[in-house]
Structure 1
């Protein structure tokens, strides 16, 4: 039996009705009794769940918010999971969404979430976390939420959702109707946010104070949620770390997907040639859906796995006029949602230095000194473009369509301008995560255990605690030694800079003068490389990245 299709109207209606109901006099969502501590068994709308006590907090792993998306349910809107009566064991981390890194792993029964809270939580601010990985790999458990639940006084929810081709497929056979979309991962996020709204009070959270926090790909997803009419009323604040605004043209994306899938269609006898297969895959023939829903997930997962942070290889977040406006972000109607945008100063350093082009036959024509200069060129301008892309570029688009409060920040720690430098990597992408988890997943990259880094981390967490509580990172009172985080406007493009020496945090507000235009002009004028090498680096290392 064919699974129900997505109805834009039904999703929009459910979010709008909930938001409208919450504003009615006398309306209140169910809340846990303030006097009773939260236990390890909590009730959800689908059934009770058994969690586990850890140091200082409680956690429930893998609570289902949707049914399996395998088989005929692949590339359909998420549906409710089957209800259960006995307490579901949610004490052990489950499998991530199906994906491919060095091999295929995970599960298509991935619509689940982790909840971290504390025993005395009641009407706490809620953080919903979207993870990194290019929307192709990864898991919410890259940022365990227990530390933030304790430090920020919040309830932390980590989401799993469909990734790669399973999460984004805009072939006509799957989204030819006027209310059908290929952005299935966004539908999963909407479903999860509805679960949070309906259930989080049982875990001590406030369903009317939800902040979406995304890192890298999750940060870009968070920006998509801001621009999407699907998410109006579903959350109240947004934090995007290393994010930025990206979307893809639906028609061009369908052609890219068809080209990637065509060899499988030939292998399975659906066409004699790849050209014929591509044409067939771009039709609304129901046989396309039937065939693809039956293909082994392990054969689909590796497709486009070599995206290298390039939308051209793995197009996703389609501007389809349903979940995202046809005109992309400039055409969106943004709600008055307070938004905080944070970046590292050197987020492209690692990608630049270890890009595969530098070991290619073309690169071997240049000397070692020339290639070292080329890596520095790519790191310098790539990182600068990342900074603008993640912060000012997004803020300018939102500010043109909304008066929402905007706060922009940059972590300088580790960069060449920092009081504490990290060789080669600088202020790399991900340098903020240890500040949010209390541990260092990058122990092989840099020692982040020093007193200065920890003091900077404490300051960032204080800003975030104020922000998720009130929408203002300054709150009623700043942590001692902190700089007031000025609101960003087009006329006053303020940027909070976070740094530290060996022992102390250093924060300051600065005017963000960089723009994409100024950086491209500087690249054009840069004479550190020969014209031939500069052109090769731009074409092979910089061009086509998310920030391009």
Structure 2
């Protein structure tokens, strides 16, 4: 999903780096297959090891090559500081943390590291491998603190960094000729991390036979890609998609004068090398030149990700893999979305929310604002939940559960009413899953998560964490959460003050969505067409997918 970064830094800052210095703690000293290692103990009591190398640095001749296992180290490794983020373009969410300006390139290609959080004296615990979001173009391990989830639910949490943007996804004949045919280098990073888990996690107290992959937004999309990848067979045993999708793009190759044209990578490769395109020239190019080739005049980074390369992802794409139990990794799955996904973006769009003095947030037309968010949230759910759940159950895998996150009780001050402006926005569920509410940064966290909603949100966080961990432990979230094939119905997550969590029957469909939009009195006719146009780009490649709405 595309992010509207302009002005974002005025409200949200990247999840803050943990700058409080820590000391290595002998209680965390381990002997592992890679070598001896020592970490530290969090305030929560969790044992933490940071920046563990799971793959060889993908630098020099290893740029745009599949990840290879890291062989280990001599002596004792002190694992107490955050890994350097992978290369990414500065935006309103990450620039402060990275110490750069918006539009600058930061990070290091030597970035394939992971963090591990475990309860003390852990042994044979379920393992939960977190894949971060960020449009597959930005993000880093330091955003996510898995210590409380590990302690609350008695699980081992692994947070993985992976190659991003044009370093993580690149399709060109000269690279395939000199490599393995893979275009999703980021996906090979996930595979290497999962192989690391198989080989090493027992030393940290985890059970390599009970591995759950979970991720949000692009991380959820990568979870779907791993389910579709023939290379991931046997590396994980459950999967959770949070606000993800099963989208993928074709390589879009065509015969052209005896050679191949790959769009848009062919134009980018020419811009990067400035001469005859070769694998050597591409691998020697600077990060600045690579990122410049994919950055538009508006400063936005546009890189196709999750490419149906026929090697790491079937040539027909992720959704096509779900047609048969023989063509995907049919593990138990939870998939869900947030009710107000797009309020993260619409709340920063001055067409919807006025910004007096640049610091106040005043919704222009609340009925219109909520209607647009409702329809956009439903279409996100159709593509990321209902269609995925229908396809996987139709293939014969009944172990599918779905949810919608509805918590919208964020606090307010004179400048911002976070409940009304942001509601149950994209990524709002993450602090609840991790039970860690220092997440959005010092500008928003104190407003959204205040004393007025503390009791309710902590109760909901405990409930969601318990469901996630129970699913990780036994492949079934249990309690009153029923399978999609028994309904269909999804679990609606909300605080006790809002009626509590309960099953919500029914599915969302495009025809129902079309009928509701066309008859909604809160949507002026021109707004209906604007909404349809906005939805067709980010959500559906096929312009006919919205049926009668295409009359706009």
Give 1:473's match in structure 2, choosing from 477, 483, 492: 477
Aligned equivalents of 1:305, 1:43: Cα separation in 2:
45
Indicate the larger mover: 45-54 or 111-120: 45-54
Q: Which residue of 2 aligns with 1:115?
A: 116
Q: Which position in structure 1 is the counterpart of 2:448?
A: 446
The aligned residue for residue 422 of structure 2 is 425
Q: How many aligned residue pairs are there?
A: 470
Is the CA contact 2:49–2:115 (under 8 Å) kept in the aligned structure 1?
A: yes
Q: 1:338-349 alignment to 2 at 5 Å?
A: 338-349=332-343
Contiguous gaps of at least 5 residues in structure 2:
1-24, 91-101, 254-260, 322-326, 354-361, 411-416, 542-552
Mapped to 2, the partners of 1:369 and 1:409 lie a distance apart of 28
The correspondence of residues 274-285 of structure 1 with structure 2, limited to 5 A, is none
Shift of 1:372: 7.3
Tell me the CA shift for residue 129 of structure 1.
0.6
| 1:341/1:245 CA distance change after superposition, 3 Å | same
Query: Is 1:487 aligned with 2:454?
Result: no
Q: 1:528 to 1:320 in 2, by over 3 A?
A: same
Give the C-alpha shift of residue 444 in structure 1.
5.6
Runs of 4+ in structure 1 off by over 6 angstroms are 356-359, 368-374
Deviation at 1:188, TM superposition (A): 0.8
Name the residue aligned to 1:331: 320
Separation of aligned partners in 1, 2:143 and 2:28: 23
Separation (CA, whole Å) in 2 of partners of 1:494 and 1:125: 27
Offset from partner CA, 1:4-52 (integer Å, 9 cap, x none) = xxxxxxxxxxxxxxxxxxxxxxxxxxxxxxxxx9942223333222211
Note the alpha carbon deviations across 1:443-485, whole angstroms, 9 max, x for none: 16622552111111111112122111101111xxx5xxxxx11
Distance 1:306 1:391 in 2: 32
How big is the shift at 1:72?
1.5
Q: Which residue of 1 aligns with 2:357?
A: none
Contact 1:128 1:212 (C-alpha < 8 Å) held by counterparts? yes
**Secondary structure of the residue that 2:538 maps to in structure 1?**
coil
CA gap 1:458/1:111 in 2 versus in 1, 3 angstroms:
same
Comparing 350-359 with 222-231, greater Cα deviation is found at: 350-359
Q: Tell me, yes or no, if the aligned pair for 1:60 and 1:116 is still in contact at 8 Å.
A: yes
CA shift, 1:224, in A, is 0.8
Contact persistence 2:398–2:483 (CA under 8 A): no
Superposed, which structure 2 residues align to 1:28-427 within 5 Å?
39-55=27-43, 56-101=45-90, 102=102, 103-176=104-177, 179-251=180-252, 254-265=262-273, 268=274, 270=275, 287-301=277-291, 303-304=293-294, 313-332=302-321, 333-355=327-349, 375-414=369-408, 422-427=419-424
Paired with 2:125 and 2:182, the residues of 1 have a C-alpha distance of: 34
CA displacement at 1:547 relative to structure 2:
5.7
> Is the contact between residue 251 and residue 262 of structure 2 (CA under 8 Å) also seen in structure 1?
yes
- Look up the SS of the partner of 1:292 in the other structure: helix
CA, structure 1 residues 179+433, in 2 after alignment: closer, same or farther (shift >3 Å)? same
Output the CA distance in 2 between the equivalents of 1:168 and 1:521. Answer: 38
Cα deviation per residue 1:334-389 (whole Å; 9 max; x = unaligned)?
A: 33311111321111122234348879xxxxxxxx9998776555423211111222
Task: Evaluate the alpha carbon distance shift between residue 372 and residue 452 of structure 1 in structure 2; reply closer, same or farther with a 3 A threshold.
Answer: closer
Change (3 A) 1:525 1:327: farther
- 1:13 paired residue number: none
How far apart in 2 are the matches of 1:197 and 1:450? 38
Deviation at 1:422, TM superposition (A): 1.3
Match of 1:27 in 2: none
RMSD, matched Cα: 3.0
Q: Check whether the contact 1:67–1:80 (CA below 8 A) recurs between aligned residues.
A: yes
TM-score (norm 2): 0.78
Any conservation in 2 of the 1:125–1:469 contact (CA below 8 Å)? yes
State how far apart, in whole Å, the 1-side matches of 2:503 and 2:483 are. 10
CA distance in 2, matches of 1:181, 1:86: 35
User: What CA distance in whole angstroms lies between the structure 2 residues aligned with 1:162 and 1:40?
Assistant: 29
Secondary structure at the residue paired with 1:134?
coil
CA displacement 1:166-190 (0-9 Å, x = unmatched): 0000111112589511000011111
Question: In 2, are the aligned partners of 1:38 and 1:118 still within 8 Å (CA)?
Answer: no
TM-aligned CA distance change 1:472 to 1:501, over 3 Å: closer
Kept after mapping to 2: 8 A contact 1:244/1:393? no
Task: Report the equivalent of 2:537.
Answer: 544
- The question of whether the paired residues in 2 share the 8 Å contact of 1:385 and 1:547 is answered with no
